[in-house]
Amino acid sequence: MSPPENAEAVGPPSPPNGDTSVDRSADGLKEDQSPLDQVTSHSESYPEGLKLVLLLASIYLSIFLVALDRTIIATALPKITDHFQSFGDTGWYNAAFLLPATGLQLFFGRLYTFYSPKWIFISLVFVFEVGSAVCGAAPSSVGFIWGRAVAGLGAGGLINGAMILMMYAAPLQRRSLLMGVLGAVFGIASVAGPLLGGVFTTKVTWRWCFYVNLPIGAVVLVFLILVVEETTPALGSLPVKEKITRVDIPGTLVFVPCIVCLLLALQWGGQTYAWSDGRIIALWVLFGVLLIVFIAIQFWQQESATVPPRIAKQRTVASATFYSFCLGSAFFIIVYYLSIWFQAIKGDSAITSGYSTLPFILSLVIASIMAGIFVSKVGYTNPVILAGGILVPIGTGLFTLFTPHTGHSMWIGVQVLFGLGVGLGLQQTNIAAQAALDKKDAPTGVSLVFFGQGLGGIIAVALGQNVLDNQLIKRLRHIGGISAQDVVSTGATELRNVFSKEQLPSVIEAYNRAIVIVFYCALAFACIAIFGALAMEWKSVKTTESGAKDEEKQEATQDDVQSEPQESRMSTPVEKQTESQEGQQGKGLKADDTSE
């Protein structure tokens, strides 16, 4: 029997006696060789020099655009609604982006497992750019909403895709440092979004909040096309029919409407409709039913599921997802409502409030980079994740002490402490997940962790808005001459223009107390994040490329073998072939020797 075409690339040369191994499937894998081994053998050489710089620049710029787009609209919304005369559509401007961006995140993570990460990522950047162009040129509110939906579709796979591309940029040990820089970029964009939105809105036009994505995106596309090499993912050589099966179309068709129901319930509940309204109750019921159905599909599909149960149940992945959900919730609450505090309580403009958050940005950037350096040197993510889990609750707790008279030293110091905690803890969870998983499972694991972080932010911000509105109504109800509804509908920067000098102290005091209650919500999320940090396994990023235990690799490989068509597998003793060539005695090589 003739040797396979890729024998030299993925296995030892044929022994002198001419005995050769036989492919066990249509993708040319040998019997003792997992898909991980095949992809690793082809991807051990990483880009260097200018090529690496351009690759990282394209990844970081992509993340910057997506993170910026999530928050830049906050300060532009009043101008957009004034332009289109569409105050009733305000909720859809965020929802249209978040629905596809969140609902399809796990689907894209699965897609990266089977198809070229380069071309999936390039396609999604292009879709995101198209959506941004539509938003910028939108002639009507409906057109703007469609543009946000298209941009959200592109954003749905860019954040996890950036992390997956980084797997081909550097080995795991160096990747922790690169991930630290990525965390810094994400934090800068998230916090700078409202500032840039205010600048564009007041100095140029709100349309530039979206046009700004176009030249940056064009540069990203050029860099990606020129420097990213074509790579075949771990399961990329499976037959097309099996790829379609493993993408889990049924699960996606259930999961997307599940997330839609959740987000609409959070967007509408307590604002557009009362929580007791039949429409909100129906959305919650549908969400619960669809979630149960989705989980059942995952256990039924097993290895073909959107999130295979063995990955979701992996201790570090589950803990990292929980930790990211909680820390992401606290992070986004502070990012959104700290700016509101500066505007409503201190009387800052949208631009000035952005400058006031610079201590947070700088400390986050420094901590993110230092966390990456630490992990690359020491090899373990647990210390920095634990440090983040301790510092963030302390910083968040200090935010709850804010009053209308809080001075510069207080709000600067608290921001620095909180920024250090977020920078240390928020992004290294993705490295922890990679260290715990086989390389072929890393895209799914990374997507799950990022999904937890994004979903936490969506839920927390919606919760914060409901708490803020309800607290304002509650605290202003008994103050004569002031309409609580007027305060709720008045923008944070307009309070001093709407209310008299006599009314203003009572309004500001009530507003401050309402925001502090929102900070308490962030504190609750931050405090329980530590349980996720404590539950993570201690695995070094220095030991192996994937960091997975040998038995986990064997289990994952066995699952892949069992899921392949029976007729495509043949049993051949590759260990004997290797022993014959190398002169080894015994029963054969162990699984870890083979994978190495």
Can you tell me which residue has the tokens 């305000």? 90
Residue 581 lies in a domain: no
Examine residue 82 and state whether it is found in any structural domain, yes or no: yes
Is 131 among the domain residues? yes
User: Are 300 and 357 in a shared domain?
Assistant: no
- 86 and 155 fall within a common domain: yes
Question: Do 222 and 132 reside in the same domain of the chain?
Answer: yes
Handedness of CA 86, 281, 458, 150 (dihedral sign): negative
Q: Does the residue 110 lie in any domain? A: yes
| Count of domains observed in the chain | 3
| pLDDT surpassing 90 at residue 445 | no
Residues 151 and 276 in one domain: no
CATH number for the domain including 460? 1.20.1250.20
- Asked whether residue 478 falls in the same domain as residue 449, the answer is yes
pLDDT of residue 588: 41
Query: Does residue 254 have a pLDDT over 80?
Result: yes
Nearest CA among 428, 333, 321, 441 for reference residue 372: 428
> 135 vs 195, which has greater pLDDT?
135
66 within some domain = yes
Structure tokens at 518: 């929102």
Domain end among 264, 284, 305? 305
Quick one: 460 and 510 in the same domain?
yes
pLDDT of the residue at 303: 72
Query: In the chain, pLDDT over 90 holds for what percent of residues?
Result: 9
Indicate if 500 and 367 belong to the same structural domain: yes
Contact yes or no for 248/297 (Cβ under 8 A):
yes
Mean pLDDT, to the nearest integer, of 568-588? 41
Mean pLDDT taken over the chain: 75
Q: Percentage of the chain surpassing pLDDT 70?
A: 74
- 542, part of any domain: yes
Q: Are residues 199 and 285 in the same domain?
A: no
DSSP 305: S
Rounded to 10°, the helix 35-43/550-563 angle is 110
Predicted confidence (pLDDT) per residue in 463-512, tens digit: 887 888 778 777 777 766 666 666 666 666 666 766 777 777 887 888 88
Range of the domain at 287: 248-305
- Predicted confidence band at 525 (pLDDT cuts at 50, 70, 90)? very high
Reported as a single tens digit per residue, the pLDDT across 267-308 is 777 777 777 888 889 999 999 999 999 888 888 877 777 778
How far is residue 296 from each of residues 124, 252, 319, 443, measured CA to CA in Å? Answer: 30, 13, 21, 22
pLDDT at 156: 82
Q: Is 353 in the same domain as 442?
A: yes
Q: Please give the pLDDT value at position 111.
A: 80
* Domain termination residue (choose one: 213, 237, 261): 237
Q: How far apart are CA 146 and CA 130, in angstroms?
A: 11
- 120-173 pLDDT, tens per residue? 888 899 999 999 999 988 888 888 889 988 998 888 888 778 877 877 777 776
- Closest-CA residue to 135 (of 188, 83, 174, 176): 83
Query: Residue 524 carries which side chain, given as an amino acid letter?
Result: A
Shared domain for 363 and 223, answered yes or no, is: no
Residue 564 lies in a domain: no
The residue out of 288, 305, 322 marking a domain boundary is: 305
What mean pLDDT do residues 97-109 have? 80
Whether residue 338 sits in one domain with residue 199 = no
Q: Are 112 and 157 in contact (CB under 8 A)?
A: yes
In a domain, 585, yes or no: no
135 close to 151: Cβ distance less than 8 angstroms: yes
Do 101 and 230 fall into the same domain?
Answer: yes
Q: What is residue 261's predicted lDDT score, i.e. its pLDDT?
A: 87
